[in-house]
Amino acid sequence: MPLELVLVDAFTDRRFAGNPAAVCRLEEFPDQALMQAVAGELNLSETAFTVARGPDRYDLRWFTPTTEVDLCGHATLAAAHVVGCPVRFSTRSGELRCSRGPDDLIEMDFPADPPRPAAVPGDLGIGRIRWFGRGRAYHLALLEDAGAVRRLVPDLRAVAACCESGLIVTAAGDRPGIDCVSRFFAPNLGVPEDPVTGSAHCTLAPFWAARHGRPVLVGEQASPRGGIVHMRSAGERVVLGGRAVTAGRVTLVV
């Protein structure tokens, strides 16, 4: 049986940048083991599976190469790009609404995940840490400046041992129009470094909104591929905005 998937580059307006995801539209979800095998075969940071449940309503699930996850921003953006906006996705993190925003951005209404101060859980091998905390999902380390974030070569074994679900490193922006820079490492999820991580910005948005004193921000994820995430902090919710482009299509025989 052929399985058709669309390859999408998310949080970018050009191909071969941002964060790639695969999106598969189905009539019903197959066995979980099959979806996990497909995600492992593609070896992208996320593969998204969608099932239509009514006009502008879909169920949505996300898989890394090794596990199903509770929330993924860039694969949600990719799915909205494929199925069209406005759309509501039913997920393990509740209902996620996507719509067209200013400048034709796709905007996603996500739960906020503000970090709370926490002790550094061990020697992370990431240099001087100015502040450390964690949200429900991820740990966050504030470094001295954007250059420290950009130059960082992390000890992934230490990150895996100390930050089971992933580590965000961040600093204030270093160029006009960019309020913060970040990188994200999740070796335990089969993602040594994620190119652009929407769900990490559920933590970055309230963190930097408090420091900058305003809710509307723009973040740059400074991975080798790079990407831009627009953020609006709104109490218990965060609106994340980005662009996406279709990079290709693939057919798997399952």
What is the average per-residue pLDDT within 206-235?
A: 97
What is the average per-residue pLDDT within 227-238?
A: 97
Choice among 4, 27, 46, 107 that is catalytic: 46
Provide the pLDDT for residue 5: 98
Does 204 lie in the same domain as 124?
Answer: yes
Torsion of CA 11, 12, 18, 20, to 10 degrees: 80
Specify the CATH number for the domain of residue 90. 3.10.310.10
Provide the pLDDT for residue 183: 98
What is the average per-residue pLDDT within 32-59?
A: 97
Portion of the chain with pLDDT greater than 70, in percent: 100
Does 216 lie in the same domain as 128?
Answer: yes
Which structural domain, as residue segments, surrounds residue 32? 2-110+241-253
pLDDT tens digit string along 17-26?
999 999 999 9
Total domain count, the chain: 2
What is the average per-residue pLDDT within 33-60?
A: 97
What is the average per-residue pLDDT within 35-51?
A: 97
Burial class (CB in 10 A: 0-12, 13-18, 19+), 178: middle
Does 132 lie in the same domain as 94?
Answer: no
Rounded mean pLDDT of the chain? 96
Closest CA to 106 of 61, 69, 62, 76: 76
What is the average per-residue pLDDT within 211-225?
A: 98
Does 149 lie in the same domain as 103?
Answer: no
Contacts of 98 (CB under 8 A, 6+ apart): 76, 77, 80, 85, 86, 87, 88, 89, 106, 107, 108, 109
Provide the pLDDT for residue 91: 97
pLDDT score of 192 more than 90: yes
Does 138 lie in the same domain as 197?
Answer: yes
Provide the pLDDT for residue 118: 97
pLDDT tens digit string along 112-125?
999 999 999 989 98
Determine whether 46 is an active site residue: yes
Does 226 lie in the same domain as 130?
Answer: yes
pLDDT score of 1 more than 80: no
What is the average per-residue pLDDT within 94-98?
A: 97
Does 227 lie in the same domain as 132?
Answer: yes
What are the backbone angles phi and psi of residue 241, rounded to the nearest 5°?
Answer: -125, 145
Provide the pLDDT for residue 222: 98
Contact 87, 48 (CB under 8 A): no
What is the average per-residue pLDDT within 147-152?
A: 98
pLDDT tens digit string along 69-86?
999 999 999 999 999 999
Does 90 lie in the same domain as 150?
Answer: no
Does 170 lie in the same domain as 101?
Answer: no
User: What does the alpha-carbon distance between residue 91 and residue 64 come to, in Å, rounded to a whole number?
Assistant: 15
Does 231 lie in the same domain as 122?
Answer: yes
Does 97 lie in the same domain as 165?
Answer: no
What is the average per-residue pLDDT within 88-99?
A: 97
User: If you search the block for the tokens 């996705």, which residue do you land on?
Assistant: 89
Q: CA distances (Å), 83 to each of 24, 136, 228, in order?
A: 10, 29, 22
Does 173 lie in the same domain as 80?
Answer: no
SS3 state at 37: helix
Burial class (CB in 10 A: 0-12, 13-18, 19+), 29: middle
